[in-house]
């Protein structure tokens, strides 16, 4: 670590924390089912629409044999669970989703 951080800086940042939900999508047993490509395209369309609507703040597809992607959602965990339960890939058994409440800080973003 090259940057020194004081206790006061940590406390000031912690005071700005906002609630979010972390959705972790993992590949399920039906990943390669008949029609999977079309279902995955609808999943992608839905996730991008949720991002455009502000329900997903950060969307990160993952290149992995086990994890399909992660999303930071701007809604409470209970609502995020309901939204993700309606996902085409989740409904088809191609993916399963875990949702966890988390916190983020104003101004955090991925670098361009």
Write out residues in the chain with pLDDT < 50, as ranges: none
Q: How far apart are CA 98 and CA 77, in angstroms?
A: 10
* pTM (2 d.p.): 0.91
Looking from the CA of 64 toward its CB, the CA atoms found within 13 Å total: 14
Torsion of Cα atoms, 36 then 38 then 43 then 44, to 10°: 120
Cβ count near 12 (within 10 Å): 10
pLDDT at 106: 86
DSSP letter (8 states) at residue 4: -
* Cβ proximity of 80 and 12 under 8 Å: no
């Amino acid at each position: 670590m090259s940057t020194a951080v004081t206790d006061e800086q940590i406390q000031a940042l912690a005071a700005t924390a906002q609630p979010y939900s972390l959705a972790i999508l993992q590949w399920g047993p039906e990943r390669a089912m008949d029609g999977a490509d079309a279902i995955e395209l609808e999943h992608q369309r839905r996730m991008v629409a949720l991002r455009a609507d502000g329900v997903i703040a950060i969307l990160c597809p993952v290149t992995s044999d086990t994890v399909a992607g992660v999303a930071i959602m701007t809604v409470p965990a209970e609502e995020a669970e309901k939204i993700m339960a309606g996902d085409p890939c989740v409904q088809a058994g191609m993916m399963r989703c875990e949702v966890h409440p988390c916190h983020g800080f104003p101004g955090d973003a991925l670098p361009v």
